[in-house]
Amino acid sequence: MDIDEELNQAANDSDSDDSDSGSDDDMKDLEDLEEGDSDSEEGPAQTHTSNDTVVFIRNLPFTTDDDGLFEHFKENFGPVRYARVVLEHDTGRPRGTAFVCFYNEEDFEKCVAEAPKNTVQNIPSSGKGGAKASVLQSESLDPTGKYTLDGRVLSISKAVSKEEAGRLTTIGTEKREKVKAERRRLYLLNEGQITQANPLYSKLSPADIKMREESYKQRKGFLEKNTSLHLSLVRLSVRNIPRNIDEKDLKMMARKALVEFAKEAKDGKREGISKEEARRGGQEAKEEEAQRRAKGKGVVKQAKIVREKSGAGRSMGYGFIEYIGHRWALMGLRWLNGREVAHLTVDEKKKKEGDDVLEISKEDKKRRLIVEFALENVQVVQRRKEKEKSAKGRAPRTKEEREAEEKDKKFGGKGDRKRKWSKGGEEGSEKKKNEDTEDKEGKGNPEKWDKQKRAAQIIARKRQKRRMRNSA
């Protein structure tokens, strides 16, 4: 199956700033400052060879210069040795960060200890690029106002060495990449892969192995190129389906897979679903599943066979299964993947026409299903969810409304509830028909049309006078 078809059927998260105390470039500037700086008029002149009393500042207003920063910290916290705003090396523009070095360790410790917590993490995202806006003046974050400069609440942390800053940057990058992967569920890409260590691998044909390897490479390439794509938690892509299998057969397979998986797990023939896997999907998925169960609906939400748009609509040999929860999808995938179609319950199903057993060709009997988690576009999924929410918000139609709608479809009218019948029903309809005929005849004769128009005006005036008398 072409992956493009899968995406058609499936109809940036901003990176959170880490609490790293300065980047590598910032630390280079700090080292330059530590080698020698003009002594302040306050405090003893001494040489610092470490970062014991240096704070790293973020969310700094771009209009702040060294002198303004120096005066602010000296007035609010104590004697300052130096204050330096970090500039971009290429453009010379402020980066929104700075370093301040205190003379006294007590002032340094107090400045760090009383600083507002999690100011950068609380910055809301803005714009298409997901860039974070600045934290503006807030009494809740900075009641004293000591950490607010030109309307912005400063983020204060201890400065670290260049080596430590590099290490923290690496950790932060890895953490962000991991969060991205978890949001897109890239860990599900390996689900459905049959490795050489798997006993089932020896039963696969060379063509089957090649198809699986090409599918994995293609899907991985799509995910790397397009960050809007992710792997569904509940929707499975099923390929290598015999063309005589329909939606009912596929849904029956999906149900049987759950029953057989549970039996094999209970008998110790395979591992069951882990607690971590069962927790995936979150509380919202659990509530949706509970609502569906309360309505008496099954765990298989949808089974779909993709068919040719032209001709007789023959099956294209692939389809989709959607479960109501992730753990059901995992159970279905792990049991169906690599199964021969002849071993499924298709041969147990009786056709309605003549009660004949569903025939499977010898070629189809050798087929083994290829089951993977389906690719989905996050934007399409979001639009689908919004559409479902709006549909749920509408009030359910009454029985009378449904009957009227069916009647409209049958007769092509607007429904009895929208018609204004005159007395006698059919008599009123006949009267309306005669009036329409007269109107058409009148329009063909100008003199007759003028007379009808004047008569209508006279009647309208009389009716208006009558209403005025009645209201008085």
- CATH at residue 252: 3.30.70.330
Q: How far apart are CA 41 and CA 39, in angstroms?
A: 6
Name 179's Cβ contacts closer than 8 Å, sequence gap at least 6: 13, 16
Name 447's Cβ contacts closer than 8 Å, sequence gap at least 6: none
pLDDT of residue 394: 65
Question: Is there a single domain that holds both residue 145 and residue 114?
Answer: yes
Per the domain annotation, does 265 fall within a domain?
yes
Phi, psi for 15 (deg, rounded to 5)? -70, 130
| Structural Rg of the chain based on CA atoms | 37
Closest CA to 241 of 191, 196, 198, 304: 304
Per the domain annotation, does 2 fall within a domain?
no
Question: Is there a single domain that holds both residue 412 and residue 460?
Answer: no
Question: Is there a single domain that holds both residue 374 and residue 281?
Answer: yes
CB 322 within 8 A of CB 236: yes
Q: Dihedral through CA 86, CA 87, CA 93, CA 95, nearest 10?
A: -50
Question: Is there a single domain that holds both residue 81 and residue 221?
Answer: no
Helix (H, G, I), strand (E, B) or coil at 268: coil
Q: How far apart are CA 375 and CA 196, in angstroms?
A: 25
**Distance of alpha carbon 152 from its chain centroid, rounded?**
32
The range of the structural domain enclosing residue 375 comes to 215-392
Phi, psi for 211 (deg, rounded to 5)? -60, -40
Counted domains in the chain: 4
Question: Is there a single domain that holds both residue 81 and residue 57?
Answer: yes
Question: Is there a single domain that holds both residue 311 and residue 383?
Answer: yes
Question: Is there a single domain that holds both residue 345 and residue 409?
Answer: no
Burial 128-144 (b: 16+ CB within 10 A, else e): eeeebebbeeeeebbee
Question: Is there a single domain that holds both residue 145 and residue 158?
Answer: yes
Phi, psi for 100 (deg, rounded to 5)? -130, 130
Per the domain annotation, does 349 fall within a domain?
yes
Question: Is there a single domain that holds both residue 400 and residue 366?
Answer: no
Question: Is there a single domain that holds both residue 302 and residue 154?
Answer: no
Per the domain annotation, does 8 fall within a domain?
no
Per the domain annotation, does 198 fall within a domain?
no
Question: Is there a single domain that holds both residue 407 and residue 442?
Answer: no
Q: How far apart are CA 155 and CA 116, in angstroms?
A: 7
Phi, psi for 456 (deg, rounded to 5)? -65, -35
Closest CA to 242 of 156, 315, 301, 144: 315
Both structure tokens of 238:
């099923």
Q: How far apart are CA 370 and CA 208, in angstroms?
A: 9
Number of H helices, E strands in the chain: 15, 10
- pLDDT string in tens for the chain (472-residue length): 555 555 555 543 333 344 444 555 555 555 555 444 444 444 444 444 456 899 999 999 999 999 999 999 999 999 999 999 999 988 889 999 999 999 999 999 999 999 987 655 444 444 444 444 445 556 678 888 899 998 889 999 988 777 777 777 777 777 776 666 677 888 899 998 998 888 889 989 899 999 999 999 999 999 989 888 999 999 999 999 998 899 999 999 999 999 999 999 999 999 999 988 888 877 777 888 888 888 888 899 999 999 998 878 889 999 999 999 999 999 999 999 999 886 554 444 544 444 444 455 555 567 899 999 999 988 887 887 787 777 766 656 666 666 777 666 655 554 444 444 444 444 455 555 555 555 555 555 667 677 788 888 889 888 888 888 887 6
Question: Is there a single domain that holds both residue 370 and residue 462?
Answer: no
Phi, psi for 423 (deg, rounded to 5)? -65, 135
pLDDT of residue 471: 74
